[in-house]
Amino acid sequence: MSKVYNIAVIPGDGTGPEVIAEGLKVLNAVSSRFGFKLNYTTYDFGGERYLKTGEILPDSAIEEFKKHDAIYLGAIGHPDVKPGILETGILLRTRFALDQYINLRPVKLYPNVETPLKDKTPNDIDFVVVRENTGGIYTGHGGVTRFDTPDEIATQLMVYDRRTVDRCLKYAFELKRKRNAKDKKYADKPITLVHKRNVLLYCGDLWYRAFEEMGSKDFPEIKRDYNHVDAANMWFVKNPEWFDVVVTENLFGDIITDLGAMIQGGLGVAAGGNINPEGVSMFEPMGGSAPKYQGKNVINPMAAIAAGMMMLETLGEIDAAQSIENAMSKVMQKMKSQAAGKMGYSTTEVGDMVAGIL
Ligand code: IPM
Ligand code: MN
């Protein structure tokens, strides 16, 4: 009997449904070829539903997600909804409720994809950011007093405990070990911790000590490096070839992965996973809902296809994931650009070409 995976699909807002449709096309093509089956349950959470019903994400949805093998998400964000409501109510809520403690963001430049970095090639831009995804400033500790007076005080605390730091570091070191075994070009590079320990004396020191301890004790063969987050920004631009696995806390990871998305060719290609290595993970293109392109068949579905590839990889369908990557790479070489409206093909044509190769 062939393997069956149950996938919760949240197409979401704006161009989300268009790119997810192409992603599903590709997933279906590959599953029939590699002999597994994907069952989908579609959920209409997002801005439209919120505006119609006032409902963001009911508790029952979280319980249903837990019964699936993975979640495939398009985009959340609606121009008529105040910023923060959907982001915290859907995205962050799911991350926390399902304990998706890793945000995995490959930063990989494929051949023929344009990077704004002069003279950098696919050989130079091929690293992964492991962002801690449940702690730090995102936990929401803090508050406000003397609201809306000239004396208003607002606090928002960076909160970390050793267990949260350690489990993230363990994931990053294990990923580094795997990449080192795969290719010598990775093994020559260090794992890099990014923080701001020259200023964030407590949280930075906690991360640094935990990193040094785990590295020297459990992963002695792996080279270690450390960058302050501001410097990491500079090196991502000037010397991206220095990086292989980058591990960092939540907010710094949020910031540096958007920079990562740009140097790998933009939001048309960047994908990410919200991963619970022991539970249910959620995969998404980084592009957002891009309402101005909605319904025009011009948005690039490559990032959503890449998110589907990451989903299969995490589910253990390594060969199927690899074949998606090969097909994506072939199609990217034919495309004029990875930017919406400039691809030389429509959204559906790009999906058709990738699925066609598979
Ligand atoms: C991301 C996004 C989210 C984050 C927002 C939408 C809550 O920017 O996935 O990087 O800050 O984590
Ligand atoms: Mn972000």
Domain boundaries, the chain: 1-110+266-358, 115-264
The pLDDT assigned to 330 comes to 97
Q: Which CATH number fits domain 115-264: 3.40.190.10, 3.90.1310.10, 3.40.718.10, 1.10.10.10?
A: 3.40.718.10
Q: With a 6 A CB cut-off, is 254 part of the ligand 1 pocket?
A: yes
Q: What is the pLDDT of residues 46-72, one digit of tens each?
A: 999 999 999 999 999 999 999 999 999
Note the pLDDT tens digit of each residue in 303-313.
999 999 999 99
Instruction: Report CA-CA distances (Å) from 116 to 155, 236, 254, 261.
Output: 37, 12, 20, 11
Q: Is the pLDDT of residue 1 over 90?
A: no
Token couple for 11:
């197409």
First-to-final CA distance of the chain: 22
Whole-number mean pLDDT of the chain? 97
Taking the model in full, what pTM does it have?
Answer: 0.97
Residue nearest to atom 2 of ligand 1 (CA): 254
The answer to whether 1-110+266-358 and 115-264 have equal CATH topology is yes
Assigned CATH class of 1-110+266-358: alpha beta
Which protein residue has the closest C-alpha to ligand 1 atom 12? 254
Q: Alpha-carbon distance 144 to 124, whole Å?
A: 45
Contact 331, 350 (CB under 8 A): yes
Ligand 2 centroid, distance to 67 Cα (angstroms): 27
Pocket test for ligand 1, best of 90, 254, 267, 275 (most atoms within 8 A of CB): 254
Predicted pLDDT at 2: 81
Provide the angle, in degrees to the nearest 10, between the axes of the packed helices 16-34 and 302-315: 40
Q: Per residue in 126-143, pLDDT tens? A: 999 999 999 999 999 999
Say yes or no to pLDDT of 164 above 70.
yes
The alpha carbon of 248 and the centre of ligand 2 are apart by a number of angstroms equal to 14
